[in-house]
Amino acid sequence: MVFVPTPFALHVPHAEPLAWGVESSPEAMEIFRKGMKHYSQGTARGLREALKSWEVALKLSQETENTDQEIIILNWMGLAYRELGEFDQAFSLYNQLLPRTASRPQTEASVLLSLAQVHTKLSNYQEALDLYNQALGVWRSVNFQTGEAATLNNLAVVYTELGDYNQALATYNRALELVQDLGNPKSIAATLNNIGGSYSDLERYSQALVHYQDALKLWQDEEDRRGQASTLNNIGFVYAKLDKPDNALATYVNALPLWEKLGDRAGKASTLNNLGYVYAQQGNLELALTYYNQALDLRRQVGDRPKEALTLYSIAQAQRQQGKLELAQATIENALTLIEDLRTRVSVQDLRSTFFASKQDYYEFYIDLLMERHRNTPDRGYDTRALEARERASGRSLLDLLTEAKVDIRTGVNPELVQKEQTLSQQLAALEERKLRLLRDNYQADRAAELDREIEDLLLAYRDIQARIRATSPNYANLTQPQPLSVAQIQQQVVDRDTTLVTYSLGKERSYVWVVTSDGLHSAELPSRDAIEKAAQAFREAVISPRLRIRRRRAEGAAHILSTMIVDPIADHLEGERLAIVSDGGLQYIPWAAIAAPASVNTYTPLIVDYELIALPSASSLSQLRQDIAQRQAAPKTLAILADPVFSPQDNRLNPDIQPPENFLPPELERSAREAGLIFDRLPFTQQEAEEILALLPKGQTTQGFGFQASKAIATSPDISQYRILHFATHGLLNSITPELSGLVLSLLNPQGEAINGFLRLHDIYNLNLRAELVVLSACETGLGKAIRGEGLIGLTRGFLYAGAARTIVSLWQVDDRATAQLMINLYQNMLQKDLSPAAALRAAQLELWNSEQYKLPYFWAAFTLQGEWQLSELLPN
């Protein structure tokens, strides 16, 4: 189904009143007003008549060389073409108009806004984002709140199209604050309608309905047909989702004649598509397909490619229900071709990821369809095609990033853009310091919220400037878009005789797993996503919960239940000594090392006993990673280690004569600060851990930073690229909402007791230039991140792989300090003294703890996982 947002349209006469001028033609003025009367009819015929009048008025204005008149007429003509769905004509007019507005800031911003709306309609999302942000800057410079509200509203429409629904909702709410202050009923109605759309996207349908009904009342009071049609369509959408088909149909029937009177083909297509959905839900597939095909024709006429893909997806579902599997496959493949093309047109990686995540249902349907065809005819290779579809659907932005990491995308870019990027990065760091000082010295909830909002604004600007750098970079333009691997390529480039690739895909009704060896492919059907994720959550909780983990039998039982679901069906095909696992959904959070081995029926044996275990975002990303590693020079030294930073003024390593700030964080606020991730306990065993590791190597091959020296300055220095192993023994800071604010916590004070910036954020990590064979994050939850469908967990691992790490060892939960120290010492002894690969060394270290009495519980050893390359590489320089 389709939600119809209500974009704001600002027109020059409303934004910046312009005089017609002394030289204006009275005849031109009269003809222009005649066109306005036609336009106000709100019908397609009225728009056509208005355009005829305005073309005459434009010619007369050009004859008298009245620039102000021309600007007004061109802007209104552009709006009329937009409302008729003739976007190429509108685009041409606005491009003529923009260069003539340089000395008129409000007019310039209005045209930028209009141009951005056309780009949005044409699915040129990156161009739209750039133009909206330019317009915002102009509106704010002249303090014109009406324009700012309009632009925020339209900016949120793009976030919605790109699948970033939380960001869209936040942006709409900021627009609503402005329009309510201004008191414009239509603007309030449009924003309420769009907020309803965000709640609907987030599946909060009751809240959506309340906002839609409030918007509809305002539209009716204003007698605004377009607004009524949009909101009626959206109310019908919610009724359908709430399983009230009769209400939905009645609402759509009221919306259709309004669209027809307006001549709005895009709006009419949305309602037709939604009618098709309701009839499909009722089992009337022929009627559903009739409506879907009418919607498809209109969407192709207006060039709405994202919605064309959505209608194709709907048609494919109906065709499958009819048993026309071959036809359904061809239809969904056409939809996916459109989605793949649209994905590459977004330069902001975060938004590219959320856009692709919002289309994962298409891939899930396609995979399920192919596996249905495989069940019907097992010898036709449909399971191979299904795995290739799964590979196309997973880890694509990481694959893009690894390809981009080969080149310096800033070479050849306008130096002002690069400088702006650096300035924004510095401003972000400064705001983080201010937030830290606020929490320490004089906590104020309202000021903290204000700082959070400032950080959010800066992050949006930072993302925008990075997108502009990519868009104007000659090196980025010359990059070939990386293509996911075929099964044959996976067998040649990824797996080997000792390694089996295991790929999972969780689905609403059923899930699948594929096992790829160097000479074969096997697949199996598994239970639904909900069933698997429920078992996965129970297993994880049983391992890590302080209340449950001491009940060993319960944890072992949970390990067996999950293993029976997801490992037993493929147990006979798991060959070799190593499993490379591409997880999905809730399986990304489980400790694979502790899941029960399939052969351990009556007793508990963890999977790590039988196999080395590797986590991969996708097979294709590993192939790209290997290419990058092969093309670089090895680092000359072995190990850089940062451990036991100074977090608090109460740390006994500070000079006792130094007094902490008078208003240091009071006890009653300590819990809040901890929950905000800004208070950290010392990790006393990490220095001992580090010293024992350092003792395994000659001094000339290592560098260390303990206490005050475990600083961000050392972590980001150019010298860090000289080391093959980087080891961080400190706290991790996870932000699952805004991954850029995740990071590692290094020293927060200098020896003089002054607060310093000690957060190594994700964007800092992306800017490192590493040649590391291994990055070890001996910290809490460093393997987690923001879960995005199709991308996995966006967090620190991705940052270090982009920065040049061949592999990372990270943790899935808050780990015990002493047990971690012991595991890390065992890991390095296995690597440096026994010459084991990092993957084999981690497995051996985990088994040593499992075989001990003190640390036998999986909680102590199963948190750590290796992600990335498993093949042995030279950790020690010759």
Same domain membership, residue 414 and residue 471: yes
Q: Is 651 a member of any domain?
A: yes
The boundaries of the domain holding residue 647 are: 632-814
Average the pLDDT over each of 294-303, 656-665, 702-711, 742-751 and give the range with the smallest value: 656-665
Same domain membership, residue 451 and residue 416: yes
Same domain membership, residue 411 and residue 545: no
Q: Which residues contact 641 (CB under 8 A, 6 or more apart)?
A: 690, 693, 694, 702, 703, 704, 705, 726, 727, 728, 729
Q: Where are the alpha helices (DSSP H) in 100-164?
A: 105-121, 125-141, 145-161
* pLDDT at residue number 332: 94
* pLDDT at residue number 79: 84
Average the pLDDT over each of 164-178, 550-564, 778-792 and give the range with the smallest value: 778-792
Same domain membership, residue 501 and residue 457: no
Q: Which residues contact 574 (CB under 8 A, 6 or more apart)?
A: 500, 502, 515, 598, 611
pLDDT at 77 exceeding the cut of 50:
yes
Q: Is 578 helix (H, G, I), strand (E, B) or coil?
A: strand
Which two three-digit tokens encode residue 198?
Answer: 């965000």
Q: Is 241 a member of any domain?
A: no
208 alpha-carbon distance from chain centroid: 23
pLDDT at 474 exceeding the cut of 70:
no
Q: Which residues contact 170 (CB under 8 A, 6 or more apart)?
A: 456
Higher pLDDT, 770 or 511: 511
Same domain membership, residue 499 and residue 461: no
pLDDT at 15 exceeding the cut of 50:
no
Q: Is 49 a member of any domain?
A: yes
Domain ends where: 599, 620, 641?
Answer: 620
Q: Is 343 a member of any domain?
A: no
Band the pLDDT of 858: cuts 50, 70, 90.
Answer: very high
Residue 360 is inside which H or E element, if any? helix 360-376
Q: Is 578 a member of any domain?
A: yes
* pLDDT at residue number 529: 93
Q: Is 406 helix (H, G, I), strand (E, B) or coil?
A: coil
* pLDDT at residue number 663: 40
Query: Does the pTM of the predicted model rise above 0.95?
Result: no
Same domain membership, residue 509 and residue 425: no
Same domain membership, residue 668 and residue 797: yes
Q: Is 160 a member of any domain?
A: no
Q: How far apart are CA 811 and CA 821, in angstroms?
A: 13
Sign for the CA dihedral angle at 736, 740, 744, 747 comes to: negative
Domain ends where: 780, 799, 814?
Answer: 814
Same domain membership, residue 496 and residue 467: no
CATH number at 564 reads 3.30.420
Say how many C-beta atoms besides its own lie within 10 A of residue 561's C-beta.
16
Q: Where are the alpha helices (DSSP H) in 631-735?
A: 667-675, 685-694, 712-715
Same domain membership, residue 499 and residue 471: no
Higher pLDDT, 482 or 217: 217
What is the β-pairing status of strands 774-777 and 759-761? Answer: unpaired
Q: 664 and 657 in contact (C-beta within 8 Å)?
A: no
Higher pLDDT, 577 or 61: 577
Say how many C-beta atoms besides its own lie within 10 A of residue 590's C-beta.
23
Same domain membership, residue 671 and residue 540: no
Encode burial over 72-95: b for 16+ CB neighbours within 10 A, e otherwise.
bbbbbbbbbbbbbbbbebbbebbe
Same domain membership, residue 426 and residue 520: no
Q: Is 874 a member of any domain?
A: no
Domain ends where: 74, 103, 132?
Answer: 103
User: Where does residue 602 rank: exposed (0-12), middle (13-18), buried (19+ CB within 10 A)?
Assistant: exposed
Q: 730 and 707 in contact (C-beta within 8 Å)?
A: no
Q: How far apart are CA 8 and CA 820, in angstroms?
A: 55
Q: Which residues contact 115 (CB under 8 A, 6 or more apart)?
A: 91, 94, 95, 98, 131
CATH number at 42 reads 1.25.40.10
Average the pLDDT over each of 155-159, 219-223, 429-433, 719-723 and give the range with the smallest value: 429-433
Q: 160 and 168 in contact (C-beta within 8 Å)?
A: yes
* pLDDT at residue number 539: 94
Q: Is 46 a member of any domain?
A: yes
pLDDT digits (tens, 9 = 90+) for 553-585: 888 899 999 999 999 999 999 989 999 999 988
222 alpha-carbon distance from chain centroid: 38
- Based on the structure, what is the number of domains in the chain? 4
Same domain membership, residue 98 and residue 59: yes
pLDDT digits (tens, 9 = 90+) for 746-771: 888 888 888 778 888 887 888 888 89
Encode burial over 777-816: b for 16+ CB neighbours within 10 A, e otherwise.
bbbbbbbbbbbbbbbbbbbbbbbbbbbbbbbbbbbbbebb
Q: How far apart are CA 382 and CA 614, in angstroms?
A: 27
